[in-house]
Structure 1
Amino acid sequence: MAKWHYLIAPMLVVSSTVIAQEASSETSMKKWQHSIEIYAQALNIRGDTTIGNISTDVDVDPAFIMDHIDMGAMLRLEGIYDNQWGYYIDYSYMKLSGKTDSVLDINKNILKGSLDIRQGVLEVKGFKRYQYDVGMIDYMVGIRWWDNDIDTRLYGSNGNVDLRKSLNEDWIDYLIGVRWTKALHKNWAVHTSLDMGLGSDTNFTSSLLTGVRYQINDWSDLNIAYKSTWVDYENKGTYEYDTATQGFLVGWAAHF
């Protein structure tokens, strides 16, 4: 019997050590909380743009986008460590194309035209979270990267005219912002975030996002919100873009 005591004692020590290490590992892993959200936004884009010496108004609504969209994607990834330090990555992309056959040139020739627009907007932010009586407040700093590609073509049916113009313009804006989140009920929470900033060629940029989240279960929720982004970018002689992009969005997020 004494021999069994000598064997059992070390086994209990090893077992308790393994269990403690596993519990410690699980606790450490739980300090990181992540979420990935897929969302769709009914975009309205208003403002004006200048390409070279040609200026035009921008007036794009959801119906126009649905008629001319070739591809679109909107995705958000977020994580926070120990409910204090976090990151936020948001990317939206769309590709639009259109054609017309009623363009007149200076010689009154009837020309056909085509236009391809590709726009990607990437937001990357880091934040520090604080708990207050009014809710959670995240103080954020980061960048917003704009990537605009425009291809235009005018051509005649007899082949005597074939004009092409391409523009690839991208820039980075530097941001500071704040986000407020408040639980209204065990399944409902309200959130509002605001950022603003500028870049080397950007006079001003800002973004507002406000809405509510509904907790579907313990690992997913639904986001219903309104988002608006303003930008006033000027690269004199090449490209100017002064617009407001806004609309309601619906997203589904998974937490892990």
Structure 2
Amino acid sequence: MNKTLPYLLTTISCFVSSYAHSESWDLKIEPYLMFTSIDGDSTIGTVDTPLEVNFDTILNNLDSGFMLRGEAFHESHWGLMFDWAFMDLSKSFSQPALGVLDARVRQGVLEVSVAYKQSSPSLGEWINYVGLRRWDNSYEFNLEPNRLPSTSLVDRDEDWVDLILGFKVDKQLADNWLFTSSGDIGGFGLSAKLTASLKLGVSYKFSDHWDVSALYKGTYVNYHTGDEDDKSYFEYKTITHGPIISASYQF
């Protein structure tokens, strides 16, 4: 399944190249901030760890982060969409009896989709899409004892790619106000057993080029690999959720 991402990116490049001669594109770029919380369970080897990570914990231990989504639609109604979110967290714990435990967790989620846009008086603007969601997780836990060389307790990288099918709807509520929703379902046992997301909120349009949004998003994933009760086993069953604020520029 990991070979699918380069294949899709090649297909997308060919798709864009076929329309490169035309200027009839509508583009949208949208940086955003998600007040992320993560709830669920993660198992590395034989160690099962409940995950209850709130936004304050993430913010206090954040080394770097990046959140950006965008769209590009041709006059033929075909287009591309992407969403990329990344965070790098680290923390050190010091105990006189043991030494210093250094922990580092990195997570990146990239979604790339081919989409088709339609509109109707009753539904508003409707987008159907098919794409890939790539998860990239990294865990490092190192112990530096007071009188012994440092020891690597965990050093694990897990990444996988899920097929997703989704929709996005923008419905006019009043002058300059839109109700916006989107969702997808995927996995289908190809990599993750199941993954799904749902996003709901409102947008306010300041001009033909600028708007701001307030939304709430949740993303579920149930993924495992390796042999249970063995050090090769990895399971990640979580809901990543939280409110989102964003500003977008369209041209």
TM-score (norm 2): 0.84
| Residue 249 (1) aligns with residue 244 (2) | yes
Instruction: Find the aligned partners of 2:99 and 2:43 in 1 and give their Cα distance.
Output: 22
| Residue 240 (1) aligns with residue 235 (2) | yes
| Residue 168 (1) aligns with residue 163 (2) | no
Instruction: Find the aligned partners of 1:166 and 1:35 in 2 and give their Cα distance.
Output: 38
Instruction: Find the aligned partners of 1:161 and 1:76 in 2 and give their Cα distance.
Output: 40
Shift of 1:30: 5.6
Q: How does 1:86-101 map to 2 (within 5 A)?
A: 86-101=79-94
Instruction: Find the aligned partners of 2:182 and 2:247 in 1 and give their Cα distance.
Output: 18
Shift of 1:204: 0.4
Deviations 1:195-252 (A, max 9, x none): 0011533110001111111112221110111111000010133311000000001001
| Residue 202 (1) aligns with residue 192 (2) | yes
**Distance verdict in 2 for CA 1:161–1:145, change over 3 Å:** closer
Q: Where does residue 136 of structure 1 map in the other structure?
A: 125
Shift of 1:160: 5.5
Deviations 1:78-129 (A, max 9, x none): 11111611211000000000111239xxxxx523211111110000111112
Q: Where does residue 150 of structure 1 map in the other structure?
A: 139
Deviations 1:27-64 (A, max 9, x none): x9562100101100000100000111111011110110
**Residues 77-86 or 207-216, more deviating:** 77-86
Shift of 1:186: 3.0
Instruction: Find the aligned partners of 1:40 and 1:220 in 2 and give their Cα distance.
Output: 17
2:115 to 127, 150, 156: 127
Shift of 1:157: 1.1
**Distance verdict in 2 for CA 1:161–1:210, change over 3 Å:** same
What is the aligned residue count?
224
Instruction: Find the aligned partners of 2:141 and 2:31 in 1 and give their Cα distance.
Output: 31
* Contact 2:142 2:150 (C-alpha < 8 Å) held by counterparts: no
Q: Where does residue 103 of structure 2 map in the other structure?
A: 115
Instruction: Find the aligned partners of 2:202 and 2:223 in 1 and give their Cα distance.
Output: 31
TM-score (norm 1): 0.83
Shift of 1:75: 0.4
Instruction: Find the aligned partners of 1:116 and 1:34 in 2 and give their Cα distance.
Output: 36
* Contact 2:65 2:88 (C-alpha < 8 Å) held by counterparts: yes
2:54 to 56, 61, 79: 61
**Distance verdict in 2 for CA 1:31–1:185, change over 3 Å:** farther
Q: Which amino acid aligns with 2:112?
A: V
Q: Which amino acid aligns with 1:146?
A: W
Q: Which amino acid aligns with 1:84?
A: H
Instruction: Find the aligned partners of 1:182 and 1:161 in 2 and give their Cα distance.
Output: 57
Q: Where does residue 17 of structure 2 map in the other structure?
A: none
Kindly report the root-mean-square deviation, in angstroms, between the aligned alpha carbons of the 2 structures: 1.7
Shift of 1:183: 1.3
